[in-house]
Amino acid sequence: MTNKYYKQFREIVNGYKNTIFKNKEIEQLALRRALVCSSCSYNKLNFCSSCGCNLTLKTRSPESNCPKNKW
């Protein structure tokens, strides 16, 4: 597994963890990010068409970044 895919895998796992075990700060971060994603042309049915990530998980992963540098 290359470093890029390993990093993305870790971010997705972290997003799952933060979806299951709610944290006030993470939820606030996710809300701010989701507001940006909601009007983004790359948001296709809650998946980012640029990177392919599930936005529910990606927005809850603090170490994740928007591939288009929107957050």
Number of domains in the chain: 1
Q: What is the pLDDT of residues 20-38, one digit of tens each?
A: 999 999 999 999 999 999 9
pTM of the model: 0.89
% of the chain exceeding 90 in pLDDT: 90
| Sequence-distant (≥ 6) Cβ neighbours of residue 63 within 8 angstroms | 10, 11, 14
Residue 22 belongs to a domain: yes
Residue 64 belongs to a domain: no
Residue 36 belongs to a domain: yes
Residue 71 belongs to a domain: no
Residue 66 belongs to a domain: no
The number of angstroms, rounded, from the C-alpha of 1 to the middle of its chain's C-alpha atoms is 20
Q: Which domain holds residue 26?
A: 3-58
